[in-house]
Each structure stands twice: as structure tokens, then as C-alpha cells.
Structure 1
Amino acid sequence: MSKLMRNEDAFTGLEAAIVLIAFIVVAAVFSYVVLGAGFFTTQKSQEVVHTGVAQASSNMEVSGPVVIAGNDTNKVANITFYLQLAAGGSPIDMNKTTYVVSTKTNQQTYTSSNVTTEWYIDGVNATEGANNLLEKFEFVKVTINGTTQKPLPAIGVNDKFIVEIRPDQGAAYPLERNAPPSLEDGHYYEVY
């Protein structure tokens, strides 16, 4: 009689194919997870860079001279300057902007309620309809006056002073200037 022999060669090939397909599926899933994590990380790092650039760069700049007025005690009575948006800057809410005037010995912080502003749109005075949002093609004239509640720090002749303009978003914009060698009551001086 003949013996029945079992030949299992075909099953070995089929099992190898199944294992190979399983490896391919696992590799595809793993690569999908890795690529997804990579794309997520790239997107987050891009957001961080954009946020960092927005926070580090100032959206405004001074347009024109910084002018001070003298008073009867040979001190600075007020500081006036014009602000505009920097190239590519986003609009700035001037109601949320603060101003810090400092000298070697003193400093004072002013809010929008403590300063006087005049608005110019396309070079024309626009006191009516100004929305307190500094936008493209707009200028705002800011005058920091000393009052009895918030006096200016004592800035005398030849004194160095800094006006730091701090918008609600973005970097602060410092103006470092020197008072002139002579200050007279009612006279205006352009400072550098």
C-alpha cells in the first residue's frame, strides 16, 4: 500500500506572504503616525515663529520730529510726537497703548486717558470719526502733558529722557532723547 505523505511546502509560502503583508500594513500605519506627528510639529513651530515675530517687532514707528515745550521753571512742560504704522504692521488700538516717560531718577506711566491725541487720515485732520485704531495711511499726534495727578518727571536742560510707547500687542518702541541746553517758557524745541 502506498503511504500518504503530507506536503506542506505550499502553506509555508502562504504564511510567508501573510507575514509580509502584515509587516507592510504595520509599516504603513507607523509611517502615517510619524508623518502626522511631523506635520503637527511643523505647524506648531510655524505658529510659534509667527507669534514670536509679531511679539518681537514693533507695529508702529515715529513719523517726524519729537518736540518738547519749555515751562517757566526751565523744565519740560510736554512732549509731542507723531505715530504711524510700520510697514506691514497690523492696526493698533491706541486706547490700550501706554506711555512711560523716564529719566535717571524718576519714571511716570500714562494711559490713553492721560495723553492728548489728534488724528490725521491721508494728511487731513480727522478729529470727527476717529476710531482710535491706528491703521494704514493714518497718523496720530500724541502729546504727553504733565498734570497735577500725573506730572512729567523733572526733565531739565541737557537731561536725557526716554519715552517708551507700549502697544497692547508687539514690542515696545523706545524714544531716547536729550533735552536742549536751554528751556524757556512757551518755546518749542525739536529734540534728538
Structure 2
Amino acid sequence: MRSLIKHDDAFTGLEAAIVLIAFIVVAAVFSYVVLGAGFFTTQKSQEVVHTGVQQASSSMEVIGNVYGVATTASENLAYVQFTVGNTAGGTALDVSKMVVSYLDGATRSPDVQFVDDEDGETLKATLIAASEAMTENPASKDEMGKWGIIEKVNANDNDVLEPGEQFVIGVSTPTTLTANTPFSVNLQPSVGAVFALQKTLPPALHRVNILY
């Protein structure tokens, strides 16, 4: 009787097709994973670039001098006054959302309170009153000082600083700010880098002083 001998010398056409399809599926899945990771990395890089451009274009600058307005007795400053505007190519920013902080050797106020809807003269009186209320370690918002927009130049009635506009800002200072005292006022817009004003009072105070 003839015996049956099994030969495995080669794949059949069906088996070869199955193996080929398996390789194609695995390669397709691997390619999808690699491409997905690449797209994710590219998207994150674009977000970082766009965020950096947005922050750089939304910054502001101080235009002109920084003035220190003293009390009637000229013993200490009541508030500082300066003009801000957009940097070249900058976008509009809401000044009312800006965080203002004050620091000198004796007083630290991390969140000076914004005062809105007051005309220039009324705001100046508010800043003088806030100067007398500021303490070395503020325990309440009323003791942290006040700041606001004294005047708007080439601007409409809102608090959005747009290209071509200028805002005159006033920030109250504590009674501890006397002659030869260095201090810092930090301006943190809602978008953009912190702008720091670091000044030192002159040896003798006048009613209005240019600070360097």
C-alpha cells in the first residue's frame, strides 16, 4: 500500500496572502502611530510659537517720564503717575484686568486695587487717601492701595488700550516712601510679560518730581 507523505516545502498562495496582509496591517498601524505622534508634536510646537507671539505682541511700554506727586507737606509721595501705550505692532489689551503690585523696603502690596469710573481729579484724591491707608503688611484690600486711569489720550471711553491710544496711570504709594527711597511698581497685563518700574526718590521732594 502506498503511504501518504506530507510535504511542507512551500507556502500555498492563500497562506502567503494571509501573511502579506498581516504585515500590511501591522505596518499601517505602526505608520499611523508614528504620524499621529508627529502631528501632536507639530501642533504643540505651533501652540508654543503662537503663544509667544501673542505675548510679545500684547505687551505695553511706558511713554515719557515717570512722575512722583508728593503731599502738600512734601514729606513723602502720594502717588506715581506715568503714561502707557502699546509697543510697536502690539495688540489691544484690557488695562482694567492688569495686576499692579508695589514694593519698597518697608511696604509690600501684591495686589493694588483698580479704581474705575472716576474722573482725573477725583481719582487723584482717591490715590492720596489710599496712600495714607497703605500699611507695611496690608491685611485688607483697602490697605493695599489704589490705582486707576487718570486720563485717556486719543482713546474712547472703554478701558481697552488700543494701538495709537495712551493712558495716564496713577498708582498710590505709602507714606513710607520718602526721600532717597527705592521702590518698584510692577505691571502685569492679562497677556504678556511683567513690566517693572524701578525708581528711586530724589534727596529733596518737590510737589511734582521726575523719577529716575
TM-score (norm 2): 0.70
- Please say if residues 59 and 87 of structure 2, whose CA atoms lie closer than 8 Å, have aligned partners that are also in contact: yes
SS in structure 1 at match of 2:190 = coil
Between the aligned partners of 1:80 and 1:165, the Cα distance in structure 2 is: 13
- Please say if residues 94 and 112 of structure 1, whose CA atoms lie closer than 8 Å, have aligned partners that are also in contact: no
In the alignment, residue 64 of structure 2 is paired with which amino acid?
Answer: G
Counterpart check, 1:191 vs 2:211: yes
User: Which piece of structure 1 moves more, 4-13 or 48-57?
Assistant: 4-13
Deviation for aligned residue 1:50: 3.8
Deviation for aligned residue 1:51: 3.5
In the alignment, residue 30 of structure 1 is paired with which amino acid?
Answer: F
2:43 aligns to what? 43
In the alignment, residue 152 of structure 2 is paired with which amino acid?
Answer: W
- Please say if residues 76 and 175 of structure 2, whose CA atoms lie closer than 8 Å, have aligned partners that are also in contact: no
1:63 aligns to what? 63
> What does 1:89-108 align with in structure 2 at a 5 Å threshold?
89-108=90-109
SS in structure 2 at match of 1:180 = coil
- Please say if residues 75 and 155 of structure 1, whose CA atoms lie closer than 8 Å, have aligned partners that are also in contact: yes
1:12 aligns to what? 12
2:26 aligns to what? 26
The 1:153–1:42 alpha-carbon spacing in structure 2 relative to 1, beyond 3 Å, is farther
The 1:110–1:70 alpha-carbon spacing in structure 2 relative to 1, beyond 3 Å, is same
Identical-residue share of aligned pairs (%) = 45
Between the aligned partners of 2:53 and 2:78, the Cα distance in structure 1 is: 36
Between the aligned partners of 1:18 and 1:155, the Cα distance in structure 2 is: 85
- Please say if residues 57 and 87 of structure 2, whose CA atoms lie closer than 8 Å, have aligned partners that are also in contact: no
- Please say if residues 95 and 132 of structure 1, whose CA atoms lie closer than 8 Å, have aligned partners that are also in contact: yes
SS in structure 2 at match of 1:18 = helix
Deviation for aligned residue 1:10: 7.9
Between the aligned partners of 2:112 and 2:57, the Cα distance in structure 1 is: 22
Among candidates 112, 132, 148, match of residue 114 of structure 2: 112
Between the aligned partners of 1:170 and 1:30, the Cα distance in structure 2 is: 41
Deviation for aligned residue 1:13: 4.5
- Please say if residues 95 and 160 of structure 2, whose CA atoms lie closer than 8 Å, have aligned partners that are also in contact: yes
SS in structure 2 at match of 1:64 = strand
User: Which piece of structure 1 moves more, 84-93 or 48-57?
Assistant: 48-57
2:194 aligns to what? 172
Between the aligned partners of 2:165 and 2:58, the Cα distance in structure 1 is: 16
Between the aligned partners of 1:61 and 1:99, the Cα distance in structure 2 is: 14
In the alignment, residue 106 of structure 2 is paired with which amino acid?
Answer: T
Q: Which runs of 5+ in 1 are unaligned?
A: 147-151
The 1:6–1:86 alpha-carbon spacing in structure 2 relative to 1, beyond 3 Å, is same
SS in structure 2 at match of 1:181 = coil
